[in-house]
Structure 1
């Protein structure tokens, strides 16, 4: 059966990113002012709000792991300051990025990039920590665990902001250096004659499951970078002056020669695990109904594309395989945090425990492609039929 999620991976961030309000200690500007004051103090002053910091190195957040469950490696402000000082790094207010606060705690959360300090892997509270690739944490996250999904969303938000800061060091209008403003929520050109304001941007990407209604099948593609047996939905960037629906039709036609008619929105997902040059994408998912069926693959874009029946797709959506992949990735994270001995390999990639490998599989439940495919494949199981796909709800109750 299909896997239920309240929200996609990287969505549902539990931290509130507040708009600036005068006198609010949890607003970005007020919190940053308080943080700078405390960094100048020589003693430890316990006061509200408290501050917690998440270190990143080369896009990887600091994480710890115990019994197969990973957590973000939050560090108290003073521990962070002392830790960086030991490595010869001075923690300053302009180097941190505001992430938000929680409703239950008097805590403000920050992120800081320490990519220049390759040896910075602290041992905190008796537990080893490690800088772990966000994609690895994504696969290792138990998608049924709401807290774990929230941690992943925070890490994704933080990585996107820090990577945006790394690629926006200079003004695109005049070429002068930029400086962070509003606790890292935006940047501004340092030139008085320019003063260009720069905000984080999200690059929209359409991702579509192309459906042949008459023959009850869907179109799947392979790229050369995919691992063996993996297939997924078509996807592509939106061009200037183009609507989402137009992008779906154009990309499908360019890559497979299939003409698309009706395009129906399904859901969207922030995707902060792409290349560092694109800090965050917004995957916008659609069902696209085919008007033609003959495939003509653009070999510069795709390795192959094929129609597959609903029954074949159901067989490929084996939840046990995805669960084992999650457990294997979680074991990798734990080994990384403990420190893998020289010559010792990390946990091997997952395989089906018994029997032959399935002829095909799809991206896991952390990807919107999985839910587009699952929603179509199991539409009869939720009693929706074709009408359900034509009028998808805003929730994931139909997945």
Structure 2
């Protein structure tokens, strides 16, 4: 039995993501050349997870420890004997090779399909796995959170080892979809969809970390999941070292010139054609965030940075499986020099772009069209008709010609760093810049 409506019933629950004391990102104005509309963004993509708003107390039946004990009890019994009204309800989200299970359908007068996470009941999960000879132990399940008001606890499970599940679930119009594809396909104006994306990102990060931490880095013995999968521990009685989920902090910065009328944007060889974005780099041991901003900027472009101002942060669980969850920490960085010396091993190119050129890029890029194209792609995958299509081809100017440049869409923190700067008065100071709401120019 499938449940797609138990999750995310209240958009207010997706708040709780603190960006900055001086930065308000709860609403951004998207200005189009044709029309003006406002959308509500309570948080960046992958933040604002509604299942993580608060953790129940240990004695609470919805807490990780209590839910895990109940899970063990249920797994000892035949799934056919699970009463439908058993409380709390357990819903499971299967993953295969980092891809969450999803479904897609069109409702009402909508012309664009909507994707939803493929939650299945614990009993259905057991039946499907047993059909292929898989006996799942309680350690295979990772606690994601709960909704006490709906009497539901949510779990994730990795089923990558069994290829037969793909046609089995496909016959039910379910499919395993790349998280990055779901990210682009998500309507960022829909708080419920953004919440589902955050849940999927959290689940992928935890499962990938479990796959990477099978052995103790101290003594080499196997590790075992603890606290319903929220941490691991070495099985060696003489070691018993605790291992916690891995987070890789990354600084991402929009470098601005001294006159505050040009921004430094870069290209990497892996980027789709014509896309430009912010500089970014991993933080090194013994380094502050501000020091990382200055070092990375100088190493990659030769630009000296002075003042560094915090903007916001964003979980980023869509990287390679070896880096299960990056935390993007965004900054404005004010340059003390302007001569560019590109490190060709890191970047393909880096250039100063005027505020006017950046505004044009934001105006011409059809982010909504790209989102709809990706949503249609998810729908086709779930129907077994996956077709290759480059999403970059959808970023066109109104005349139908390719835009000379575009920046990442609203699902990326780079978009909000760039659009915040581009739509402010050139005389705005760094401090004032952060006190004003961000706005994006986009052809919706």
TM-score (norm 1): 0.93
Q: Which residue in the other structure is 1:139 paired with?
A: 184
Q: Which residue in the other structure is 2:89 paired with?
A: 50
Q: Is the CA contact (8 Å cut-off) linking 1:4 and 1:397 kept in structure 2?
A: no
The alpha carbon displacement at 1:397 in A equals 3.5
Runs of 4+ residues over 4 Å off in structure 1: 1-4, 17-20, 122-127, 388-391
Q: Which residue in the other structure is 2:256 paired with?
A: 211
Kindly report the root-mean-square deviation, in angstroms, between the aligned alpha carbons of the 2 structures.
Answer: 2.0
Distance 1:390 1:205, change over 3 A: farther
Q: Is the CA contact (8 Å cut-off) linking 1:186 and 1:197 kept in structure 2?
A: yes
List gaps (5 residues or longer) in structure 2.
1-29, 32-38, 107-112, 440-444
Q: Which residue in the other structure is 1:223 paired with?
A: 268
Q: Is the CA contact (8 Å cut-off) linking 1:16 and 1:102 kept in structure 2?
A: no
Distance 1:19 1:174, change over 3 A: farther
Q: Which residue in the other structure is 2:384 paired with?
A: 339
Q: Please show how residues 1-399 of structure 1 align to structure 2 within 5 Å.
A: 1=30, 5-16=41-52, 19=55, 21-42=57-78, 43-45=81-83, 46-67=85-106, 68-121=113-166, 127-214=172-259, 216-318=261-363, 321-340=366-385, 345-346=387-388, 349=391, 350-351=393-394, 352=396, 354-380=399-425, 386-387=428-429, 390=432, 392-393=434-435, 397-399=437-439
Q: Which residue in the other structure is 2:21 paired with?
A: none
Q: Distance in 2 between matches of 1:329 and 1:181?
A: 37
Q: Distance in 2 between matches of 1:219 and 1:397?
A: 22
Q: How many residues align?
A: 391
- Name the SS for the 1:51 alignment partner: strand
For structure 1, which segment, 109-118 or 310-319, has the greater mean C-alpha deviation from structure 2 after superposition? Answer: 310-319
Q: Which residue in the other structure is 2:9 paired with?
A: none
- Name the SS for the 1:262 alignment partner: strand
For structure 1, which segment, 125-134 or 369-378, has the greater mean C-alpha deviation from structure 2 after superposition? Answer: 125-134
State the Cα deviation string for residues 191-212 of structure 1 (Å, max 9, x = none): 0000000011211000000001
Distance 1:4 1:219, change over 3 A: farther
Q: Distance in 1 between matches of 2:427 and 2:75?
A: 59
- Name the SS for the 1:15 alignment partner: helix
Distance 1:17 1:146, change over 3 A: closer
TM-score (norm 2): 0.84
The alpha carbon displacement at 1:21 in A equals 3.6
The alpha carbon displacement at 1:238 in A equals 0.6
The alpha carbon displacement at 1:36 in A equals 1.1
List gaps (5 residues or longer) in structure 1.
none
For structure 1, which segment, 352-361 or 33-42, has the greater mean C-alpha deviation from structure 2 after superposition? Answer: 352-361
- Name the SS for the 2:149 alignment partner: coil
